Structure 1
């Protein structure tokens, strides 16, 4: 009888967690996903949904029973309450992974690093962040290193740029650059003019994780990898790709405009999420790029969807290409 790998995905209703869950399911894994409050919506998707809260250790321990892998993709939404929630949730995952001798997979970030490591980051770059969220991420990874040294837990960390994708959830693409569910008339560019920025297409990140898991026995107890993703050399290339996709779909050419950071700053005393965004603005004012040579050495390649294909799929997935305005007008006129 064939024995399938069983994985628990925490954060499967979010962008990266959901994408990894679906790709693992399609790769033949038995996928278990935990969420608060179950309903009938989406429960017939080939994923075993169980009710629970990542902040409750007993829930995580129970959900992880029989799992060889735990994907820890759960985060407090909108940057809120990181200092209160992020580490306790990870501690529960580590406890469950230790009890069940499982591998933890973590989507990493560049927050761990400070200016002394810029502009090119390798997995060995020093982690001296100058922000609160960065310090939390450093502590989060430190705890996983300690757990891996104990021998019962293995850890895979995959660090990538800013996510975008058809089901990426909260991201700069959907919250800052375009408005989901509407035709694109304006694309806001968050970065300073001429400053490069790294983006990551979510299905490529998930595919990388799935491929690393397939070879996890060849990895050390704690393994970190960087993805190159899509490098926007001057901060406008993703915006221009959006323009191309919109025009090809029959819409008018959208304008490229600078992101309204001044308005965000003015509103920040009243909107907590804006305060958190401002703390991370430094990542849009200087180049920070990841070196993916370790990933290439191990896998032989990095999963990579061409930029125009990735942008078209993203805009379609978030409902921005559902109403081809110019095409409709031409059909009416004819």
Structure 2
């Protein structure tokens, strides 16, 4: 294992952060994760060094990042609580650490930066006129990363569609389409009939980030890439894949429309539903990220077959039994 590749992953206990941390580890990186509530200052677990600290505390981030060439910023407030108040201070702490270490920041991005004027096919340089509060904050995050490159930091932003995967946590897949922890009885479709939607499998996103990090010295100081992921052209392909996998396990789910009226009724009391409602506009029109620039750099975007990815996701959510020896890392993906 190489001893000079060190990465700090903020959000390593979460979905995308955890996946990137594991894949960096498997690629020979020394990986650190910042975690609140550890009994000791550091802890070794699963090949990752866990350091007690809080992404909201700048000194904790500066200390944990010491000697690192890469900082993965995949941290979010749990359950969307105080999202607007915490997101920018956390990214500012990451930027301070990256400037101090002259490190590369990796940020998992979204389509939230863009408004309807950029639809339906969005290139990296498309104008950013977000249609939501979260989108506005996303634009600010990326602008701060860009500004930090003038002070010695570097940044890679990988934007992708809606995440899903065995450990995806808060996601449309696990909070909108199916219910975790129980057999798949119903699949809810949030979009309008015939409206395309884009999805991204977390292990593929993580593999993409690791591959870009291997090429980071050849990239622009502020580099942005869009992933193609899975394009669900009529908005039903994901539901069909879920139903096909569920049927192989003796389950026979029905497909129904997502109850948007419920988000209006409960949004004042449930932060997650409030966030889902704010993003409804992304289900009302086809929104697709153009992945040609990424393919030009990598040669080919990592891509796990859809039903294989769905099966791993449903097993990770406890909806179907896990396959013997199944891993979330798509080592044999096509």
State if a TM-score over 0.5 links the two structures. Answer: yes
Tell me how far 1:248 sits from its aligned partner: 1.2
Deviations 1:167-189 (A, max 9, x none): 11111111111111111111111
Deviations 1:14-38 (A, max 9, x none): 1000000000000110000001112
Q: Which residue is equivalent to 2:121?
A: 120
Q: Which residue is equivalent to 2:103?
A: 102
Q: Which residue is equivalent to 1:263?
A: 262
Q: State the distance in 2 between where 1:2 and 1:323 align.
A: 33
CA contact (8 A) 1:111 1:137 kept: yes
Question: Considering only aligned residues, what root-mean-square deviation do their CA atoms show, in Å?
Answer: 1.6
Give SS of 1:180's match: coil
Q: State the distance in 1 between where 2:269 and 2:78 align.
A: 17
Q: Which residue is equivalent to 1:292?
A: 291
Tell me how far 1:323 sits from its aligned partner: 9.4
2:192 maps to 1:192: yes
2:317 maps to 1:312: no
CA contact (8 A) 2:183 2:251 kept: no
CA contact (8 A) 1:296 1:302 kept: yes
Q: Which residue is equivalent to 2:330?
A: none
Deviations 1:178-218 (A, max 9, x none): 11111111111111221110000000000000000011111
Q: Which residue is equivalent to 2:206?
A: 206
- Structure 1 outlier segments of 4+, above 4 Å: none
Give SS of 1:93's match: helix
Q: Which residue is equivalent to 2:47?
A: 46
Of 188-197 and 288-297, the range deviating more from structure 2: 188-197
What is the TM-score of this pair, normalised by structure 1? 0.93
Unaligned segments of structure 1, at least 5 residues? 325-334
Report which of the two structures shows the higher radius of gyration computed on alpha carbons.
1
**1:157–1:323 Cα change, 3 Å:** closer
**1:116–1:147 Cα change, 3 Å:** same
Q: How does 1:153-192 map to 2 (within 5 A)?
A: 153-192=153-192
Q: Which residue is equivalent to 1:242?
A: 242
Deviations 1:105-127 (A, max 9, x none): 00001110011111111001000
2:29 maps to 1:29: yes
Tell me how far 1:322 sits from its aligned partner: 2.3
CA contact (8 A) 1:4 1:28 kept: no
CA contact (8 A) 1:103 1:156 kept: yes
Tell me how far 1:300 sits from its aligned partner: 0.5
Q: Which residue is equivalent to 1:330?
A: none
**1:2–1:82 Cα change, 3 Å:** closer
Tell me how far 1:77 sits from its aligned partner: 2.6
Tell me how far 1:43 sits from its aligned partner: 4.8
Deviations 1:253-311 (A, max 9, x none): 21011111111111123223322221111011111000001001111010000101100
CA contact (8 A) 1:178 1:188 kept: yes
CA contact (8 A) 1:165 1:313 kept: yes
Q: Which residue is equivalent to 1:149?
A: 150
Q: State the distance in 2 between where 1:314 and 1:87 align.
A: 30
Q: State the distance in 2 between where 1:2 and 1:68 align.
A: 13
Give SS of 1:204's match: helix
Q: State the distance in 2 between where 1:63 and 1:130 align.
A: 35
CA contact (8 A) 1:183 1:323 kept: no
Tell me how far 1:149 sits from its aligned partner: 2.5
What is the TM-score of this pair, normalised by structure 2? 0.93
Tell me how far 1:55 sits from its aligned partner: 0.4
